[in-house]
Structure 1
Amino acid sequence: MSNRSAVDGSVSVVLPTRRWTTACDELVEQVARDDEFILACDGPDDPVVEDAAGTPAEVVVAGEPEGCSAKCNALAAALERATGEHIVCTDADFEHGPEWLQRVLRHLADAPPDRVVSTAPVPISDGPLLKPLEGPGAIGAALTTLLNTTAWGGTMAFRREAVDVDEYVADLRRTVSDDALLTDRVEGVESVPDLVREMPVSGTLEETLDRQVRWTRTALYLDPGGLAFGALIQLAVVTGTLLVPLVTVPLVTAVAGLAYAYFGLRRWTFLLAVPAYVLSLPMLVYGLARTEFDWQGRRYRWTGLYDVDVLDRDAE
C-alpha cells in the first residue's frame, strides 16, 4: 500500500545511523518513490555511506557532535535536509516490520494536526541485569501508550506545521535527548499501542548503568514530574512488598503479565516484576548521582538540558 493513501503531501523519513541495518532494508521498500529517505551519519568513512550507494536513500554527513549527542547532531542534519510536509523520525536498532511506515502515516493522518504520533519501546535482553528489568519496562510502555505521555525516538511522526523545525534543530545541537525534547515542543502525543516494538539491547552491567544515567538525566531535565511519578511507583512496590507481600507480589506480577499480554509479548520475565522494581530504586539513585555515561562509542557529561560535554570523540 502506498503511503499516498494515508497522508496528503510529501513525506521525509529520517534515520540517524552509522551502519546499514535491517531497518534500512525495510524502509527502502516502504518509502514511496516521490518521498525522501534520509540517513544521517557522523563522518564520510562511516560504513553506511558505501552501503547506501545505489539505493533510494540519501546520506547526509553530520560531522562530529559539538556540545550534543551524536544522535541529536545527526538528526539535526537530516531534518535540515528534509523538505517533506510530513516528517517521520526513526532508529536503526529494531525491526520495523512490514508496512510499518504506512501504518505510521495512517495514524498521523488520523491524529490532530498539532500532535506527534509515537509509541514506546519494550527493552528486551538476555543480559544478566536487564532481563530481570523487562517487567517494569513493559508496564512503563503500557502507561506511556495509555496516557500519551511522551514520544520515543524510534517512532516520531509529525506535520511540519506542528513543530518549529528550525528551533528544534538548533536545540538538538546542544542537548542529548531528541524524543523528550520533541515531546516538550508539541501540543501532545498520540502514542499508538500497535506500533510498540521490542528493542533488543545487550543488557551488560556497564551498558545498563549507562542507559540508566542517560534516561534519568533526560527525565530530570525534561520530565521531572514523570520521574517523580516513576519513583513513587518503585517506592510503593518496595514498601508494599515489605509490609503486605501477599497482596503486593501477586498484584504487581499480574499487572506485568497484563502489560505483556497487551503488547503480545511471550516472555516469562513478567514473573520478575517485583524484584525488578526493588532493583530499580537503587538504579534510579545511581542515575541521579551520575552525570557521565557512554553511548554508542562516545562518552558524555550531561549537567543541564543544554550543557553537554563530549568527552570521547573516538566512536567505534
Structure 2
Amino acid sequence: MTDSERSRPPTSVLLPTVRWTEACSEVAAQLGADDELLVICDTDDDPVAERRSEGGGSDDDGRSEDLLDRVRVVLAGEPEGCSGKANAIAVGMEAAERDRIVWTDDDFRHPPGWLAGLNADYERQGPTTEVPVFVGTDPLGRFFEPAYVIGGTLPVSRGGIAWGGGVVFERGDLRDGEATFLRDLRRTVSDDGTLAEHLDVSAADRTRTVAAGGSPRESLERFVRFLQITRRHTPLATAFNVALSVGLASLCLLAPVAGAALVTALSGATYARFGVRRATFLLAGPSVIASPVFLAYALTRQTFVWGGRRYRWRAMFDVDVESV
C-alpha cells in the first residue's frame, strides 16, 4: 500500500449485480485496509446471494479471510416505483459505512489501480466520473455505436454528467442532502441521471469500454432507455439532438456524398479523440440517415425493458414496474 492510499479516507464501493462476476473479484482485490465492497442484488433468488454466508466471497477467489470481511452482499428487495438499479443504489447507500462512495457496474473491466485512480481524482478535483465508451456486441448495437460515442461519451467527457459505472463522491457533496437524494432515487428510473441532478461532477481523463447489447432486441431496448433518460433529465439537449439528427439525415439524403463525408469525418474525429480504434465510425452515415426513425420510435414507446423488468415512465417521479 502506498502512502497516498494510507492517508486517503476509507471508501465504500457499491456494485449492483445478480451474480458474482470477474468485476467483483477485480474490485475486491483493490480494496484498502479500511475500504468495503457492497455487492447489491435484489433477493435471495439471485445467484450472488449464496455468498452472504461466506462474507461476500470464498477462498477459491484467491482472497484472504481479512478481505472477505470487507466484502458484503446486500439484498435490496424488489423495487416499487423505481428501477431495480436505482433501488439497489439507494439501499447500498444506506448500508455503506464509509463517507466516500464509489459506484460501479459489472459490465466492464476494472484494471489494477482503478479504485486508486478514482480516489486520486477526488483528491485533485472533487467528485469525478469516468467516461464510458459503449461497444456493441450485436449488429444493431454496433450500428448505434457512433451515436453513443457522439451523444454519450462526448457529453460525459465535458463534465457535469455522471456515469454510474465509475463515479466517486462524498456524502457531503450532495447539494440537497443525502435524504433528498435517496428519496428521489426511490421514485425514478435513472441512478446516474438522478445523481447528476444532485451533484457537481468533473470528468476523468480516461475512458472505460462497456459492452452494450447482446441481441438486437436488447440493443433496441437500451436505445429506448437511454433516450428516455436524456428526455427526462436534459429535455432541451434532447430536443436539440433530435433537431440535429433530422437536419443531418436530411443533408445525407439531399447531398449524399457531402453529407456522408461530413458525418463520417465527425464520427472519426470523435473516435480518435477518445482512442476508440473501431471501424464502426464508418457506420455514421447510415446511422444518421436511420436515426430519425429510431428516435421517433424511442420517443413514442410507452414502456421499455431493463434487467428483466418492464418500466412505464410517465414523469420524472412517476414509474410503474412489472416483471417480464
TM-score (norm 1): 0.91
Instruction: Tell me: CA distance 1:300–1:6, structure 2 relative to 1, closer, same or farther (3 Å).
Output: farther
**In the alignment, which residue of structure 2 is the partner of 1:143?**
154
What pairs up with 1:41-60 in 2 under 5 angstroms?
41-51=41-51, 52-54=56-58, 55=68, 56-60=70-74
Q: Name 2:204's counterpart in structure 1.
A: 192
User: How far apart are 1:53 and its partner, in Å?
Assistant: 3.2
Residues 82-101 of structure 1: matches in 2 within 5 Å?
Answer: 82-101=96-115
- Structure 1: runs of 5+ lacking an equivalent: none
Using the TM superposition, give the Cα deviation of residue 5 of structure 1 relative to its aligned residue in structure 2, in angstroms.
3.4
The within-5 A match list for 1:114-125 is 116-125=127-136
Contact in 1 for aligned 2:253/2:289 (Cα 8 Å):
no
Deviation, structure 1 residue 285:
1.0
Secondary structure class of the residue paired with 1:120: strand
* Match status 1:239 vs 2:243: no
What is the identity, as a one-letter code, of the residue corresponding to 2:74?
V
Read off the aligned partner of 2:262 and give its amino acid letter. L
Match of 1:19 in 2: 19
Count residues with an aligned counterpart.
308
Name structure 2 gaps, 5 residues minimum: 59-67
1:65-106 superposed Cα distances (whole Å, 9 cap, x missing partner): 111111111111100011222110111111122211111111
Please give the alpha-carbon distance, in whole angstroms, between the structure 1 residues aligned to 2:213 and 2:224: 16
Aligned to 1:303: 314
Q: SS of 1:158's equivalent?
A: strand
After TM superposition, give the deviation of residue 175 of structure 1 in Å. 0.9
Matched, 1:279 2:287: no
Alignment check: 8 A CA contact 2:136 2:144 kept: no
Change (3 A) 1:306 1:172: same
| Equivalent of residue 63 in structure 1, options 74, 77, 94 | 77
Contact 2:41–2:76 (CA under 8 A) maintained in structure 1: yes
Which amino acid in the other structure matches residue 91 of structure 1? D
What is the root-mean-square deviation of aligned Cα atoms in Å? 2.0
Cross-structure match for 1:73: 87
Match of 2:123, SS? helix
Q: Are 1:144 and 1:191, in contact at CA under 8 Å, matched by a contact in 2?
A: no
From 140, 145, 162, the counterpart of 1:134: 145
SS at match of 1:192: strand
8 Å CA contact 1:139, 1:259 repeated in 2: yes
Bigger shift: residues 9-18 or 206-215: 206-215
> What pairs up with 1:124-273 in 2 under 5 angstroms?
124-163=135-174, 164-186=177-199, 188-194=200-206, 196-273=207-284
Partners in 2 of 1:286 and 1:299 — Cα distance?
A: 17
Match of 2:65 in 1: none
Q: Letter of the aligned partner of 1:261 in structure 2?
A: A
SS in 1 for 2:322: strand
After alignment, is 154-163 or 198-207 more displaced?
Answer: 198-207
How many Å separate the matches in 2 of 1:215 and 1:167? 24
* Farther off after superposition, 238-247 or 68-77: 238-247
1:7 to 1:168, Cα distance in 2 relative to 1, 3 A: farther
**Over residues 276-316 of structure 1, what are the superposed CA-to-partner deviations in whole Å (9 max), with x where a residue is unaligned?**
1222221111111112111111112111111111121x6xx
Give per-residue Cα distances to partners, 1:209-235, cap 9 Å, x unaligned.
211222222122211122123213312
Cα distance in structure 2, aligned partners of 1:149 and 1:274: 29
Deviation at 1:121, TM superposition (A): 2.0
Partner Cα separation in structure 1 for residue 201 and residue 181 of structure 2: 16
CA 1:96/1:249 → structure 2, altered by over 3 Å: closer, same or farther? Answer: same
The question of whether the paired residues in 1 share the 8 Å contact of 2:10 and 2:32 is answered with: no
Alpha-carbon distance between aligned partners in 2 of 1:245 and 1:91, rounded to the nearest angstrom: 40
SS in 1 for 2:192: helix
Identity %: 39
**Native 8 Å contact 1:16 1:91 kept in 2:** yes
Greater CA drift, 240-249 or 164-173: 240-249
Between the aligned partners of 1:77 and 1:234, the Cα distance in structure 2 is 38
